[in-house]
Each structure stands twice: as structure tokens, then as C-alpha cells.
């Protein structure tokens, strides 16, 4: 079981984009039991389950008879799925299940894994030692310590011959271990040699690669052609057709940071379009990009004109016309002219989305002992700095476009984007 949980963790960010979560069904926990409410707070499915996940692709995983352990995983009980009316697909008979992805869901019996369809039929028998969700038409499976790929009917498309689990992005996947990574297509054929120290996922037809001998960064295209030579200390990736690159520096893995060199910008042909004169650089968003000069951050446009002079200790990309900046250790927000719209006052803050942002006061990080940091309190503000959701929760998360899950202790409730509490915090 632990092996599968590790694989799911690796791919959770990627798979979540492929899944169709219905945020009109909001999970609630009342007296230790789970159910669904709608966006007005009305019960859609009464809280009768020991666990209930999101309604994903029209189905939600449920547990009957189990209890959460100290890490939040369900211990014991059996799993099945229900539809949007609460009707179970099967009797609770699986030891673990995963949300549906591309009309298939991972299920486990004993220590073997397979897939069921949305009618509860076991389309691919529970016979594999480890598998991943379906993504772009393929799922990866492990057999005798090696990984291959199958289609949604269980037909083997790529025979298990790779020693690492992999994930396809834009019909390409990086395989191999450190010092010998390369790319395959969906037939399992290599499109590059396996001579890279690292190989990132494809985005927009390009993928970042790192050489073994000099740890220099470059990019390959979908045919495996080196379109941007491996000569940079680091590459951020393309944003609004501009890619920030470091020249002369070195990426320190242990520090997760680039030391030395200067930053500039290239186009997709590898041409330098903004000279490397910056101490650091972020990514373009809404036509502007944060850059660091003489220890301070400001913003330039795509013509390399300084739009907002360097004056911040930290600056992040624009979102919904506002950008997070840091002064004297506090987060605030500016507009695209550089005018301060919300004074720096928060100890943590998120981007504005649909006119609202999650903020925190009182949070303190302890980089050496994270568990000893202070969590502070979270709330939600609008662009006028008015609190729409009060600053009183341990954590707040977006639930779709117009809802917020608010968390206190082990319980949670919901607010909508109008600041109305539709479900009070319950456990």
C-alpha cells in the first residue's frame, strides 16, 4: 500500500489537472462522518460515510468501517465508489481506491492493483504490484521491478523495461535514473540518447534538460532536437514567449538556488532578446516581469523598459492586475503602475484570483525545525483590502472558482466568494 501512495504523491499535481472535479459537491465532516453539500450549504448526500472524497468524473470514493490514523490516512475498512445520487457502484470490497481519471480508477485487493470502470466493472484485473493513474490514455505499471505502459483496456503498449516510474506529458516521458535520463514517445521508442543528468516534463513543445558533464541547462523539442544549447546555469521555462536564463552561474541542488552569473531572456529560437544584466529574474505575467538589480526587485516590460523601479525585497508575477511584493518582511500588493494598493502587512499571502486573495497574519517559519513554526491565522481579502472571510482560520483553500474551504483544527467549513458562510466548521 505504501508503494502506491508514494507513486500517487509523485503524480498528484499532474493527475489533478486531468481529473474532472465537481466543486458543486463539497465534502463535509459532521461528528466524524462524511457527506456532500451544495454551494448553498444544503445536503446533497447525508454524512453517513467513514470517508468520502471529491466527486471526480461523476464518482466519489468512500470508505466503510475504517478510521483515520495519525497521518490522516484511513486505517481499515473497505472502499467503493458512489455516484452523484449516493448509489454505490459495488459493495465495499477494496483495500484502497484512487479517484477516477480518464474513466478508470485504481483499486487494490490484497497487495495487487487493477482498474475498474464507472459501472464498477473490474476492467483490468488486480494483478499488478504497482500502477499509476491513467493520463493521456496510458497508465504505467510495474512488473518484476520494471515499468511499462498499458492502455485503458489493459493492453500492454510499452513492455516493462524501464527501471523508474515515469509520466507522459505532451506524448513524451523522461525515463532513466540520475546521470542517464532520456525521452521516449508513447510507443516506447527513444527520441533522445540517455545522456542527461536531468530531464524535465514537456511544456509547449519544449523540455528542459541538464548535461551530465557540466550541469548546464538547455532545451529539446518533441523530436529530440537540441533547440537551445546546454550552456546556461539555469532555465526558468517559457512564459509569454520569454524565457529567463542564467549565464555563468551554477544551480546548487542542496540550496535549490542559482549562485553567481547574470540573468537575461531568450526566445524559442535561443536568441537573447533581453541582455543578461540582472541579479535574478522571475517570469513574465500580464506583460511584466520581476527582476533584481542591486539587491532590490522591480519590474520590466518586454521591451526591457523599467516600469516599476527596484525597491522591494521580494516581488512576484502579476495575477489579476495585482502583484505580491515584500517590504520590511511583510507582504502587500501593487498594481501595474507600481502604486501600492494594499500596504505590506501580511506574513504570507497568495495571488489574487477572481478578485480575492488568501492572506495570513502571524505565520512564522522555522527553516531548521518546520514543526516549531507558528501557523498564524488566515483570511480572504478583496482588492480594497477588506476581509471577505474573517482572519480567524488555521488554513484556507480554494474549492473551485467561487468557494473557500476554511479549516480550524481537524474540522472545516465553507465560505462563498461573497463572504457568506454556507457551512460552519464541523468535525
pLDDT number for residue 12: 37
pLDDT band at residue 131, thresholds of 50, 70 and 90? very high
Instruction: With H, G, I as helix, E, B as strand and everything else as coil, classify residue 198.
Output: strand
Per-residue pLDDT tens for 213-237?
888 999 999 999 999 999 999 999 9
| Architecture per CATH, 169-232 | Beta Barrel (2.40)
Three-class SS state of 113: strand
Domain boundaries, the chain: 169-232, 240-346, 349-427
| Cα angle: 227, vertex 167, 16; to 5 degrees | 110
Which of 16-25, 302-311, 332-341, 414-423 has the lowest average pLDDT?
16-25
Q: Are the CB atoms for 124 and 150 separated by under 8 Å?
A: yes
Tens of pLDDT along 186-205? Answer: 999 999 999 999 999 999 99
Q: Give the pLDDT confidence of 225-282 residue by residue, as tens digits.
A: 999 999 999 999 999 999 999 999 999 877 788 999 999 999 999 999 999 999 999 9
Q: State residue 371's pLDDT score.
A: 64
Query: Which phi and psi (to 5°) does residue 121 adopt?
Result: -80, 135
Taking the C-alpha atoms of residue 140 and residue 300, their distance in angstroms, rounded to an integer, is: 43
Cβ atoms of 212 and 197 closer than 8 Å: yes
SS3 labels along 60-106: EEEEECCEECCCCCEECCEEEEECCCCCECCCCCECEECCCECCEEE
Mind listing the pLDDT tens digit for each residue in 55-112? 999 999 999 999 987 666 889 999 999 999 999 999 999 999 999 999 999 999 999 9
For 375, the 3-state DSSP assignment is: coil
Q: Check residues 126 and 365 and name the one with the higher pLDDT.
A: 126
Opening angle at CA 144, ends 140 and 147, nearest 5: 25
Q: Which candidate, 93, 118, 94, 120, places its Cα nearest to that of 107?
A: 94
* Rounded Cα gap, residues 158 and 180, in angstroms: 20
With cell 456532500, the residue in question is: 36
pLDDT attached to residue 225: 96
From 345, 293, 300, select the one nearest 318 (Cα to Cα): 300
Q: Which residues pair with 138 in a beta bridge?
A: 135
Predicted confidence (pLDDT) at residue 9 exceeds the cutoff of 50: no
pTM of the model: 0.90
pLDDT at 18 over 50: no
Contacts 24+ apart (CB under 8 A), 345-350: 347/376, 348/376, 349/324, 350/324
Q: Which residues pair with 37 in a beta bridge?
A: 26, 43
Amino acid at each position: 500500500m505504501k508503494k502506491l501512495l508514494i507513486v500517487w504523491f509523485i503524480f498528484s499535481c499532474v493527475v489533478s489537472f486531468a481529473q474532472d472535479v465537481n466543486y458543486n459537491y463539497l465534502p463535509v465532516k459532521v461528528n466524524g462522518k462524511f457527506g456532500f453539500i451544495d454551494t448553498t450549504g444544503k445536503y446533497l448526500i447525508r454524512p453517513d460515510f467513514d470517508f468520502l472524497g471529491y466527486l471526480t468524473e461523476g464518482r466519489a470514493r468512500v470508505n466503510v468501517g475504517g478510521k483515520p490514523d495519525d497521518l490522516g490516512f484511513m486505517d481499515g475498512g473497505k472502499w467503493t465508489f458512489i455516484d452523484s445520487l449516493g448509489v454505490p457502484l459495488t459493495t465495499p470490497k477494496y483495500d484502497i481506491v484512487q479517484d477516477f481519471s480518464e474513466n478508470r480508477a485504481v483499486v487494490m485487493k490484497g497487495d495487487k492493483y487493477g482498474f475498474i470502470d464507472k459501472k464498477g466493472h473490474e476492467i483490468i484485473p488486480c494483478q499488478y504490484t504497482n500502477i499509476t493513474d491513467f493520463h493521456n490514455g496510458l497508465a504505467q505499471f510495474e512488473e518484476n521491478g520494471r515499468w511499462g505502459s498499458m492502455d485503458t483496456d489493459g493492453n500492454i503498449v510499452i513492455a516493462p523495461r524501464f527501471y523508474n516510474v515515469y509520466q507522459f506529458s505532451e506524448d513524451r516521458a523522461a525515463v532513466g535514473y540520475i546521470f542517464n535520463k532520456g525521452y521516449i514517445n508513447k510507443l516506447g521508442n527513444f527520441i533522445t540518447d540517455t545522456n542527461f543528468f536531468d530531464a524535465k516534463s514537456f511544456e509547449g513543445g519544449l523540455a528542459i534538460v541538464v548535461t551530465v558533464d557540466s550541469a548546464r541547462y538547455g532545451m529539446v523539442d518533441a523530436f529530440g532536437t537540441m533547440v537551445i544549447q546546454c550552456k546556461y546555469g539555469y532555465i526558468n521555462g517559457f512564459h509569454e514567449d520569454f524565457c529567463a536564463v542564467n549565464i555563468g552561474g551554477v544551480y546548487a541542488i542542496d540550496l535549490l538556488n542559482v549562485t553567481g552569473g547574470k540573468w537575461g531572456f531568450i526566445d524559442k529560437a535561443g536568441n537573447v532578446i533581453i541582455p543578461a544584466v540582472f541579479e535574478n529574474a522571475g517570469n513574465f505575467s500580464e506583460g511584466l516581469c520581476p527582476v533584481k538589480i542591486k539587491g532590490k526587485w522591480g519590474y520590466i516590460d518586454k521591451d526591457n523598459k523599467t516600469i516599476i523601479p527596484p525597491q522591494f525585497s521580494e516581488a512576484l508575477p502579476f495575477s489579476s492586475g495585482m502583484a505580491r511584493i515584500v517590504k520590511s518582511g511583510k507582504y502587500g500588493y501593487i498594481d501595474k503602475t507600481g502604486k501600492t494598493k494594499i500596504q505590506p502587512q501580511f506574513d504570507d499571502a497568495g495571488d489574487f484570483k477572481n478578485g480575492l486573495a488568501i492572506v495570513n497574519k502571524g505565520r512564522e517559519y522555522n527553516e531548521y525545525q518546520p514543526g516549531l513554526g507558528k501557523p498564524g491565522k488566515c483570511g480572504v481579502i478583496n482588492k480594497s483590502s477588506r476581509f471577505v472571510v474573517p482572519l480567524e482560520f488555521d488554513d484556507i483553500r480554494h474549492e473551485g472558482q467561487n468557494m473557500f474551504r476554511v479549516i480550524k483544527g481537524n474540522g472545516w467549513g465553507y465560505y462563498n466568494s461573497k463572504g457568506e458562510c454556507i457551512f460552519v466548521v464541523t468535525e
